[in-house]
């Protein structure tokens, strides 16, 4: 079978690899019907270092169950399923607390030697706890939006939940990538009255407005902070959705959060220590977040997708076959594309 393998910075290849196989009785094999390239895939694409082992890529997918292990109880061959970016057993103490990304028997796809979803098929550990069977067929018109439940929509929602977005509140979303755009959807869905999107790409900002952003701020650094403060009567926003992961983004988050407010961070942090910790302290603001437990959010978000109340699938602006994956990475890295769908 064919799969995407990252070898080094800018060096992503489609290769023939051994067919995925059941290894544990709790495994399933899915045939991938659609997958994605993620903004977080761009970190190894740009920063992978010499000597790091080659890695199968991709952690977002919808697929069809092709084979199940002897202990898999809730799935059957032919089921159409969403694969969250993390696998989880659904039964441990953390899964019961709806923090599936801390599962005691969990892990992450396309990472640390795990198989990836930018491939014809892959092995799913803890299949019963991980996969979510969809109530639609593989040709459903909503497939793009359903695919976002594997990561970006659940991740944007997590940022909003951790940032304590609620009715009547002012929210700001830092980052206009697919997660930031889904964060706008989530903030609106949870009732935010004012939603400021911070970014600088015209196409993405237009989509953010469609999704419910009330204001756009394209300035960065101190100028960006000043603009957001001006838009909120000098108070700052109750909720900051930090969807980038750089120290500059975190500095901005601390600058624009209102005293007593909350910052939900879902971009993998590329800094050692949380910047601006002194102003953060004097604001009594909360910083939370981490890898989103998207498996926990599928049930909540699915009805809104199925009934067309939210359309996160609009973040996809390009579709490629497996052979087009390297070009898809390049296009996302050059910010020519917001998010690429892969149809193996
Ligand atoms: Zn668990």
- Note down pLDDT in tens along the chain; length 344 residues: 999 999 999 999 999 999 999 999 999 999 999 999 999 999 999 999 888 999 999 999 999 999 999 999 999 999 999 999 999 999 999 999 999 999 999 999 999 999 999 999 999 999 999 999 999 998 889 999 999 999 999 999 999 999 999 999 999 999 999 999 999 999 999 999 999 999 999 999 999 999 999 999 999 999 999 999 999 999 999 999 999 999 999 999 999 999 999 999 998 888 888 889 999 999 999 999 999 999 999 999 999 999 999 999 999 999 999 999 999 999 999 999 999 999 99
Q: In the CATH scheme, what architecture does the domain 2-151+293-342 have?
A: Alpha-Beta Complex (3.90)
pLDDT of 28? 98
* Buried/exposed code over 234-258 (b: 16+ C-beta within 10 A; e: otherwise): eebbbbbbbbbbbbebbbbbbbbbb
Q: 206: phi > 0 → left, psi -120 to 50 → alpha, else beta; which?
A: alpha
Separation between Cα atoms, residue 49 and residue 26, nearest integer Å:
34
CA 340 to chain centre: 13
* CA of 295 relative to ligand 1 center, distance in Å: 11
123 and 115 in contact (C-beta within 8 Å)? Answer: yes
* CA of 200 relative to ligand 1 center, distance in Å: 39
For 137, other C-beta atoms within 10 Å of its C-beta total 8
Separation between Cα atoms, residue 259 and residue 286, nearest integer Å:
9
* CA of 102 relative to ligand 1 center, distance in Å: 7
Q: How many residues does the chain have?
A: 344
* CA of 26 relative to ligand 1 center, distance in Å: 13
Residue with tokens 């953010």: 208
The yes-or-no answer to whether 2-151+293-342 and 153-289 have a common fold is no
Q: What is the dihedral of CA 300, 302, 305, 307, to 10 degrees?
A: -90
pLDDT of 50? 83
Closest CA to 181 of 223, 221, 142, 151: 151
List the chain domain ranges: 2-151+293-342, 153-289
Name beta bridge partners: 121. Answer: 31
* CA of 291 relative to ligand 1 center, distance in Å: 14
Separation between Cα atoms, residue 257 and residue 260, nearest integer Å:
8
Q: Does domain 153-289 have CATH number 3.40.50.720?
A: yes
């Amino acid at each position: 079978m064919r799969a995407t393998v990252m070898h080094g910075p800018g060096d992503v290849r489609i290769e023939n690899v051994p067919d995925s196989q059941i290894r544990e009785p709790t495994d399933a094999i899915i045939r991938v019907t659609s997958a994605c390239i993620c903004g977080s895939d761009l970190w190894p694409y740009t920063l992978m270092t010499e000597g790091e082992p080659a890695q199968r890529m991709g952690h977002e997918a919808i697929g069809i169950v092709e084979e199940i292990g002897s202990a898999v109880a809730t799935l059957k061959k032919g089921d159409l399923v969403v694969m969250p970016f993390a696998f989880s057993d659904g039964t441990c103490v953390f899964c019961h607390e709806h923090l599936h990304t801390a599962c005691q028997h969990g892990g992450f796809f396309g990472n640390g030697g795990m198989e990836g979803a930018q491939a014809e098929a892959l092995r799913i550990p803890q299949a019963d706890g991980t996969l979510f069977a969809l109530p639609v067929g593989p040709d459903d018109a909503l497939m793009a939006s359903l695919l976002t439940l594997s990561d970006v929509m659940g991740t944007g929602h997590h940022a909003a939940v951790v940032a304590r977005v609620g009715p009547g509140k002012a929210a700001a979303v830092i980052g206009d990538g697919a997660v930031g755009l889904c964060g706008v959807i989530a903030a609106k869905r949870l009732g935010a009255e004012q939603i400021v999107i911070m970014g600088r790409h015209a196409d993405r900002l237009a989509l953010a407005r469609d999704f419910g952003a009330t204001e756009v701020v394209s300035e960065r650094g101190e100028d960006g902070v000043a603009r957001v403060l001006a838009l909120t009567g000098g108070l700052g926003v109750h909720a900051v959705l930090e969807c980038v992961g750089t120290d500059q983004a975190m500095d901005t988050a601390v600058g624009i959060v209102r005293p007593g407010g909350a910052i939900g961070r879902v971009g993998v942090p590329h800094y050692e220590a949380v910047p601006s910790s002194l102003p953060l302290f004097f604001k009594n603001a909360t910083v939370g977040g981490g890898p989103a437990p998207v498996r926990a959010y599928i049930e909540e978000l699915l009805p809104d997708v199925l009934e067309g109340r939210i359309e996160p699938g609009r973040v996809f602006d390009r579709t490629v076959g497996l052979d087009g994956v390297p070009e898809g990475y390049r296009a996302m890295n050059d910010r020519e594309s917001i998010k690429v769908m892969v149809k193996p």
